[in-house]
Amino acid sequence: MIHDAPRIEVTWGGPYSWPKYEGENNLPAMPEAAGLYLQTFEYRGGYLIYAAGQTRRPAPTRFREHTAHFMNGDYNVLDIVNAQQGVRKEVWHGWNYARSHREEFEERKPIIIDAVRNQLRGFRIFLAVMGPEPRILERLEAAIMNALYEQPPPLCDIPDQGMHLAQRWASEAPILIKNNCAAVLHGLPSVLEI
């Protein structure tokens, strides 16, 4: 780690509800702000990270798009009870599998949609409000996901693999990120080099 690199402090607010589930999980709505977000599940007095993402638009707008993808079977759907125990058990495998198995999705749709609703209700969202500088957001998203992949089980088991990540290019100077959060975010290093 380069100790004389520029430093950015990132404060993670939350947990927030997935939009439209505030009345069911009694969590506050996420702010109408851009930045980096973490989709998490409650786990052992803290939160287990499923995915990091970034948005340059208000987060609720981005999450409405995520909701549509979940409901259409485009994304992986996990069994929430197992996820909260640190066990990755898929109810539906999205992505490329979903594209070539639409008939299976339609046959199993009631079960899958029920699992989607449970997953969205169970997500706990953390948001770091940051400026819209795309490379900082992209680099931090990549650094978080790569750090999770290197963690011991179950921290490395829950996140989806194969995300398109835009980590630091060789031509970019390193930046140190200090993560601050009042909650325990399992697997998120307190300092990341991006």
Contacts of 187 (CB under 8 A, 6+ apart): 48, 49, 147, 148, 151, 155, 156
How do residues 129-149 score in pLDDT, each as one tens digit?
Answer: 997 688 999 999 999 999 999
Average pLDDT, the chain: 95
Handedness of CA 155, 156, 161, 162 (dihedral sign): positive
**75-109 CB burial, b ≥16 within 10 A, e <16:** bbbbbbeebeebebeebbebeeebeebeeebeeee
Q: In residues, how long is the chain?
A: 194
Q: In this model, does residue 93 exceed pLDDT 70?
A: yes
How do residues 58-90 score in pLDDT, each as one tens digit?
Answer: 999 999 999 999 999 999 999 999 999 999 999
Q: Which alpha helices (DSSP H) does the chain contain, by range?
A: 22-25, 59-71, 80-83, 95-100, 102-122, 134-149
